[in-house]
Amino acid sequence: MAVDVPMPVITDEGEDGVVTAWFVEEGAPVVEGQLIAEVQAEKVSAEVHAPAAGTVHGLVAINEPVPQGAAICRITEATSASTAGTSRPRPAPAQVGSTEADVIRASPAAKRLARELGIDLARVRGTGPGGRITEADVSAAAPSEGEELGGLRAVIARRMRESQRDTAAVTLTTVADVTDVPTEHFTARVLIAVAGALRRHPALNGTRDGDRFIPASDPVVAAAVQTDEGLVAPIVPGVVTGSVPEVAASLEAVARRARTGALTTDDLAGATFTVTNLGPYGIDAFTPIINPPQIAILGVGAIRTRPAFDDGGAVVPARQVTFSLTFDHAFVDGAPAAEFLSTIVDELLDLG
């Protein structure tokens, strides 16, 4: 009897993941529960254990995109008689300081890239937190030569291209006067304002399935976070009911987990809208790319002090920020999208 071993569903079934490491070889005997592979999807890593004892066959290639839920290999189950001769005990836990992996701290993506390029991690200087080796560190240590995108980076690139190809993306921008809005925890305030606006404009709060819009009961807002391995958008809890300090703490927590590679499936699955802030990089307006299956995304620019007119016509300094809303025109028309963007500003000002 043969048993298919599926790619774990880490984000959404059908979305691609990759095998980053095999711990068995083609045709090798395995026992039930044995660690056989490490996989990754959307910056989240997971281990794959053998669901049955037997012989493993049909291992997919390292970094070959595989839909989550699809088979990555097959185990031909052994009979009770043959299993006794082929079973082997599970590997003993590594002792502290017993292996090089215990000494060298590196992200899963860095380890994968090092294996691909044949680079000894012991010779790579880590620039991440606590000297952790990042994917960028491994890339910098590699010989300088052009190569195609591979592995998870290729999956991300394909998804972004699919977003551009499959959506009728339109971007609206508006400049908001935020003189009366405290700059402390500004991104958290925007997240709360977006959640309030989504409740008032349910036509933008949901996801698409082909040509069908699936509305959500409550806003689930994600925030884009730049990591050493690329951009990721974890969900920020509490944006509907939390206070500004509470949402700011949630944002800081998920951003920290994102940058240390500690995100889980729950952090990434189910968002109905994304906010991305390039203000800290000095960017005013930009065209954010919709994160499918969502149908809209908000870009936040830098807060600038510019001259403005008060009610009496006098020139006064004012703090202003540019918001850029990209939406899928196949699901939302321009006027409702403009009203939604205006509502975000109103909600932000009402927070004070």
In tens, the pLDDT along 151-163 reads 556 667 777 888 8
pLDDT in tens, 229-253: 788 899 999 999 999 999 999 999 9
pLDDT in tens, 284-312: 999 999 999 999 999 999 999 999 999 89
> Cβ-count burial of 95 within 10 angstroms (0-12 exposed, 13-18 middle, 19+ buried)?
exposed
pLDDT in tens, 60-86: 998 888 889 999 999 998 654 344 444
- Phi-psi region at 71: left, alpha or beta (left = phi > 0; alpha = psi -120 to 50): beta
- Phi-psi region at 130: left, alpha or beta (left = phi > 0; alpha = psi -120 to 50): left
Quote the tokens at residue 99: 């292996």
Q: Where are the alpha helices (DSSP H) in 174-315?
A: 186-200, 244-259, 265-268
Any idea which of 33-47, 90-104, 285-299 has the lowest mean pLDDT?
90-104
What is the residue-averaged pLDDT of the chain?
86
Q: Is the pLDDT of residue 342 over 90?
A: yes
pLDDT score, position 102: 44
Domains of the chain (ranges; CATH) run 2-86 (2.40.50.100), 100-157 (4.10.320.10), 167-351 (3.30.559.10)
Q: Is the pLDDT of residue 37 over 70?
A: yes
More confident residue, 139 or 302: 302
How far apart are alpha carbons 18 and 158 in whole angstroms? Answer: 13
Q: Is the pLDDT of residue 146 over 60?
A: no
Helix axes 334-351, 186-200, angle to 10 degrees: 130
